[in-house]
């Protein structure tokens, strides 16, 4: 039995939640109002609608003007910049995390060394205590 969906089911699903691609960047528009983004800026700049999911670049289309293309391009550039800033932040966080891990390992090594020294001192203290008790009993 095949688990692949029937082609017509895929087409219906595609129609129910269409996706457009502009300049190699895939963007989806919400099927439920305010489900994609709750920011007013996004809704003002979101030029994709269910009535016009595909932009007509270079053709006469009153629903999708060159101003809309410029707005979409500005939004894309802004998102690319935000992505770059987040990538730089992520790289810095990664380096900081690695530095902290090295520091933790170094501290754990020092702790284990000190535990060994403490254990030896405890053993020596117990030996000295026993010796002291023996000497005290001999003197008494």
| pTM for the whole structure | 0.41
Beta bridge partners of 21: 26
pLDDT tens digits for range 112-140: 999 999 999 999 999 999 999 999 999 88
Burial of 72 (0-12, 13-18, 19+ CB in 10 A): buried
Q: What are phi and psi of 20, to 5 degrees?
A: -115, 155
Each residue's pLDDT tens digit, 38-94 = 444 444 444 555 455 555 555 555 555 677 788 888 999 999 999 999 999 999 999
Secondary structure class of 54 (helix, strand, coil):
coil
Tally the residues of the chain: 140
């Amino acid at each position: 039995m095949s688990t692949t969906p029937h082609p017509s089911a895929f087409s219906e699903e595609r129609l129910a939640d269409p996706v457009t691609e502009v300049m190699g960047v895939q963007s989806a528009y919400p099927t439920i109002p305010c489900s994609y983004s709750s920011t007013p800026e996004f809704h003002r700049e979101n030029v994709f609608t269910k009535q016009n999911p595909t932009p007509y670049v270079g053709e006469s289309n009153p629903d999708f003007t060159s101003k809309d293309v410029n707005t979409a391009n500005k939004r894309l550039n802004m998102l690319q910049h935000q992505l770059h800033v987040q990538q730089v932040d992520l790289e810095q966080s990664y380096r900081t995390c690695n530095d902290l891990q090295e520091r933790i390992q170094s501290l754990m090594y020092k702790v284990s060394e000190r535990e060994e020294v403490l254990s030896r001192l405890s053993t020596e203290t117990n030996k000295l205590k026993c010796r002291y008790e023996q000497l005290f009993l001999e003197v008494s």
